[in-house]
Amino acid sequence: MSQQIDDTKPFKRRAFLKSAGIGAAAAATIAAPAIAQSQPEIKWRLTSSFPKSLDTLFGGAQQLAKRVAEATDNKFQIRIFAAGEIVPGLQVLDAVQNGTVEMAHTAAYYFVGKDPTFALDCSVPFGMNARQQNAWFWHGGGAALLRDFYKDYGTYNIPMGNTGTQMGGWFRNEIKTVKDLEGLKFRIGGFAGQALVKLGVVPQQIAGGDIYPALEKGTIDAAEWVGPYDDEKLGFAKVAKYYYYPGWWEGGTQLSTLVNIDQWNSLPASYKAIVETACAEAGQWITGKYDAQNPDALKRLIAGGAVLRAFSNEIMEASYRASQELYAETIAKNPKFKKIYEPWKEFLHNEYEWFQVAESTFDNFMVRQLRMAANKKA
């Protein structure tokens, strides 16, 4: 017996698919504005600890604002202010804490006068390099420890950039021995200044934009900032000739975005994710820019008359001993510092055991090869 074919079925299926497609498109048309409307329009202000002239540090905050705006179709806008436009660069934590602004971008060791524990969110003498600092924060327990500490200041912290190992700074005169440090008025930020006090240094905490006039007028004898690219912009070579390295107090200076915790908690989860992701991207931008720009900047500074010098072993070893004394004194009287420092120190030692095997061996080999090649050309 033959089977009868229903010619209407394909037509009905096609009609159904067509109508379903129209329905899906209509649903998408309706849903898209609804989703967009569910995202609140937010306008925040961020105060930086850095001047506009530093296109690495101040520029990093601009990158953050740009990415947040792009990711939210301009519904979440962050307006960036340089140091001094709302509050001085060293007062940005207070501005976040009391709600004057919602955010700040800064170096947390500026606030060691409140508590030396802040330095562990930035850099401390003979501490971690940039890679190790990143590893400790995200995978070594640092994030939980630091964020618990920041709660006492009504603030949520997010890493945003690392300068890498910094230079030791600009000096009017050569510094050959520990005795040469006695009475030296040195612009140096944070916890490291307390270690240098043990060697006779008189530390001065001065914001970036105010360093040059202090050095020019002789109010200070020496100053450190970051490295060749920023230092060239700030003009230190014009008023101090000797350029020392390394900045043993800043093996890897982590910068932070600080957010008022109530404002942070009020954000939708999607906006929180966008801010954290934008901070990570801006942080990579900052670190990459320093690594790309510092080599040529150093060459220009030397060509312009800067005299490059390494700190002597005597100074390095004395500084290390002074720093260890400072750590011992601090953990004895500050339980908050001790709570973070002890696991931090254990992680540090473990990292350097690993880095000496592969990373340092490779880097040292490459430096030797490049030097040999340069000598052959000469």
Is the Cβ–Cβ distance between 314 and 181 less than 8 Å? no
Q: Which are the contacts of 66, defined by CB distance < 8 A and separation ≥ 6?
A: none
Residue 84: CB atoms within 10 A of its CB come to 17
Residue 31 corresponds to which tokens in the numbers above? 């849903």
Eight-state DSSP code of residue 3: P
Predicted pLDDT of residue 208:
80
DSSP string, 239-264: T--EEEE--TT-SS-EEEEEEEHHHH
Its sign, for the CA torsion 227, 229, 232, 233, is negative
The overall pTM is greater than 0.75? yes
Residue type, 29: T
pLDDT value of residue 37:
57
User: CA 344 to CA 351: how far, in whole Å?
Assistant: 11
Quick one: 358 exposed, middle or buried, by C-beta within 10 A (0-12, 13-18, 19+)?
A: exposed
DSSP string, 152-196: GGTEEEEEEEE--SPP-EEESS---SGGGGTT-EEE--TTHHHHH
pLDDT tens, position by position, 261-312: 999 999 999 999 999 999 999 999 999 999 999 999 999 999 999 999 999 9
Please tell me the predicted confidence (pLDDT) of residue 281: 98
Q: Per-block average pLDDT, block size 10, for the chain (378 residues)?
A: 42 43 44 59 97 96 98 98 96 98 97 97 97 98 98 98 98 96 92 95 88 94 97 96 97 98 98 98 98 98 98 98 98 98 98 96 96 89
The fourth-level CATH superfamily of domain 40-165+253-291 is: Bacterial extracellular solute-binding protein, family 7 (3.40.190.170)
Domain boundaries, the chain: 40-165+253-291
Q: What single letter denotes the amino acid at residue 53?
A: S
pLDDT reported for residue 289: 98
